[in-house]
């Protein structure tokens, strides 16, 4: 019947039970498993409520007060509130910093930064992906440009010392003198130590480059004040909002305002980043912002200013360090020898295990992590390590004693992978086949999985109780 909206008000479990069954299976997987992917977290009920709100319905291309559509009175207020809370969460003076909260996620945010300040085929430098950098920081191989940041811009990576796993700042300084980048990226995807932003600033200044800090992984730790902040030394800072910050999946760009430098004539050179970055986000790369996500980001920033949030971030780091110590006691090598943040990288070469097999066996026993390159690896497709993180487990209430249990599960899983390899031989496809076909292995995997899941179920998940 025309105008009948009864069908639009049905619950998803009534109108689409097949889909809802899959959603519930995912909820069960999250509750029963140990989530150790360093870039994942469990967001709060207030964030989920924002994401499923009426704000999703509104189109609002442009900035507050400058929209291309009518009816944005309250949407403007929400975005302005989000901007205000973003600056407050990182203790920033609005006279010195501005912020754009519209990027859809971290990679689009980074591309917007490059689009704003680096001309096409201009030069950028970021930490190489095999050394702990991110795809969006310019990754390319000898035969192929992998990410848009290397397709549209000229990329030169900097590296870590292969012996220590630590960034080689001296080498970065020498390479920058030769390459003369327009922008240097201080950011990581799998690097377990705090960055030396002061040294980055000095290298950027020596070469007339912007310093762009991508704090996507560590922004929650920065907001809580438990690790050094990039803002003192950076021109531009980006972040995702769903990792340690524990908000919805989105991105944010902070940019300097005011005086950038004073020239030889004593004249002030002003920053012009605000209009460039805002225009790069829209209309340069995006259309209408996701207003429900912006509201979720706003409430996540409010949470980030609480004492409870600081306590949470301190526990994230404590748990990561406990995880390091526990794995090292079993003889596993942790790259850089430890961690200052929420993640660690385990080099499995000395244990005789590949990253892909480790990831697969841990997934089979309901521990989620990801295979990862370690310094010295030749191929990102066949890496020698795994990346482990503690934000999600800490959200569920894990403390150091619980992490000790997790270490034991990981060790037993990795030892089991060696048993499988003895049967399967070196090929991953055969490894996976043995996991499915060998009755003895299947029984051992099932028994260990049941232990892991029984343990995991004792810890709650935030959010809706059933989905």
Question: What pLDDT does residue 141 have?
Answer: 85
Q: Rounded to an integer, what is the distance from CA 16 to the centroid of its chain? A: 32
Q: What are 404's two structure tokens?
A: 């000790």
Mean pLDDT rounded to a whole number for the chain: 96
More confident position, 378 or 118: 118
Task: Give the confidence band of 168 by pLDDT, cuts at 50, 70, 90.
Answer: very high
pLDDT band at 263 (very low <50, low <70, confident <90, very high): confident
Q: Name the region of 336 (left: φ>0; alpha: ψ -120 to 50; beta: rest).
A: left
> In the structure encoding, which two tokens stand for residue 352, read together?
């005789």
Please give the class, per CATH, of domain 54-304.
alpha beta
Radius of gyration of the chain (CA): 23
DSSP bridge pairs for 346: 334, 386
Q: Is residue 161 predicted with pLDDT exceeding 70? A: yes
User: What residues does each domain of the chain span?
Assistant: 54-304, 315-458
Say whether pLDDT at 54 is over 70: yes
| Per-residue confidence band for 3, with pLDDT thresholds at 50, 70 and 90 | low
Measured distance CA(283)–CA(97) in Å, rounded:
22
More confident residue, 84 or 265: 84
If 0-12 CB within 10 Å is exposed, 13-18 middle and 19+ buried, where does residue 10 land?
Answer: exposed
What is the number of alpha carbons within 13 Å of residue 48 lying toward its C-beta?
11
Tell me the three state secondary structure of residue 236.
Answer: strand
List, in order, residues 6 or more apart from 53 with CB less than 8 Å away: 292, 295
Pair 455, 36: CB distance under 8 Å: no
Mean pLDDT of 402-412: 98
The pLDDT, as a whole number, for residue 159 is: 96
Cα separation, 268 vs 228, in Å, equals 29
pLDDT for 1 equals: 47
CATH 3.40.630.70 fits 315-458, yes or no: no
pLDDT at 8 over 80: yes
Confidence (pLDDT) at 2: 56
Confidence of residue 379 (pLDDT cuts 50, 70, 90): confident
Phi, then psi, of 146 in degrees rounded to 5: -85, -50
Q: What is the DSSP string of 13-49?
A: HHH-HHHHHHHHHHHHHHHHSEE--TT-----HHHHH
Catalytic residue numbers, as ranges: 190, 242
Dihedral (Cα; 217, 237, 379, 324), 10-degree rounding: -30
Residue 291: strand, helix, or coil: helix
User: Mind listing the pLDDT tens digit for each residue in 331-340?
Assistant: 999 999 999 9
Average pLDDT rounded to a whole number, residues 312-319: 98
- pTM to 2 decimal places: 0.95
Q: Which of 346, 391, 350 is nearest to 370 (CA)?
A: 346
């Amino acid at each position: 019947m025309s105008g009948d909206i009864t069908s639009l008000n049905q619950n998803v479990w009534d109108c689409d039970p097949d889909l809802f069954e899959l959603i519930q299976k995912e909820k069960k997987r999250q509750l029963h498993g140990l989530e150790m992917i360093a870039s994942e977290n469990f967001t709060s009920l207030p964030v989920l409520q924002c994401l499923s709100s009426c704000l999703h319905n509104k189109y609002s291309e442009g900035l507050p007060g400058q929209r291309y559509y009518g009816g944005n009175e309250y949407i403007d207020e929400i975005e302005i509130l989000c901007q205000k809370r973003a600056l407050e969460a990182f203790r920033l003076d609005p006279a010195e910093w501005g912020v754009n909260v519209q990027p859809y996620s971290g990679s689009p945010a980074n591309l917007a930064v490059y689009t704003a300040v680096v001309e096409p085929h201009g030069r950028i430098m970021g930490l190489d992906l095999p050394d702990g950098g991110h795809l969006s920081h310019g990754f390319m191989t000898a035969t192929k440009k992998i990410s848009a940041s290397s397709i549209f811009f000229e990329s030169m990576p900097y590296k870590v010392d292969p012996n220590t796993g630590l960034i080689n700042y001296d080498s970065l300084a020498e390479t920058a003198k030769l390459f003369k980048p327009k922008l240097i990226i201080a950011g990581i995807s799998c690097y377990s130590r705090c960055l030396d932003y002061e040294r980055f600033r000095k290298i950027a200044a020596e070469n007339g480059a912007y310093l762009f800090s991508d704090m996507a992984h560590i922004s929650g730790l920065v907001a809580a004040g438990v690790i050094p902040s990039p803002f003192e030394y950076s021109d531009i800072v980006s972040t995702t909002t769903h990792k340690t910050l524990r908000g919805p999946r989105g991105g944010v760009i902070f940019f300097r305002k005011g005086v950038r430098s004073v020239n030889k004539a004593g004249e002030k050179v002003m920053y012009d980043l605000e209009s460039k970055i805002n225009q790069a986000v829209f209309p340069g790369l995006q259309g209408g912002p996701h207003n429900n996500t912006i509201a979720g980001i706003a409430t996540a920033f409010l949470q980030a200013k609480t004492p409870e949030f600081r306590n949470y971030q301190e526990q994230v780091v404590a748990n990561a360090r406990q995880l390091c110590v526990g794995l090292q006691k079993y003889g596993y090598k942790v790259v850089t020898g430890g961690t200052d943040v929420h993640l660690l990288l385990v080099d499995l070469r000395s244990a005789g295990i590949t990253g892909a097999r480790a990831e697969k066996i841990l997934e089979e026993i309901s521990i989620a992590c990801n295979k990862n390159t370690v310094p010295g690896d030749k191929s990102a497709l066949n890496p020698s390590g795994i990346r482990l993180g503690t934000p999600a487990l800490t959200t569920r209430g894990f403390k150091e004693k619980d992490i000790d249990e997790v270490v034991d599960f990981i060790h037993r899983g990795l030892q089991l992978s060696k048993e499988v390899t003895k049967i399967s031989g070196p090929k991953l496809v055969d490894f996976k086949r043995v996991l499915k076909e060998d009755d003895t292995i299947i029984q051992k995997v099932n028994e260990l999985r049941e232990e892991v899941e029984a343990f995991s179920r004792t810890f709650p998940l935030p959010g809706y109780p059933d989905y």
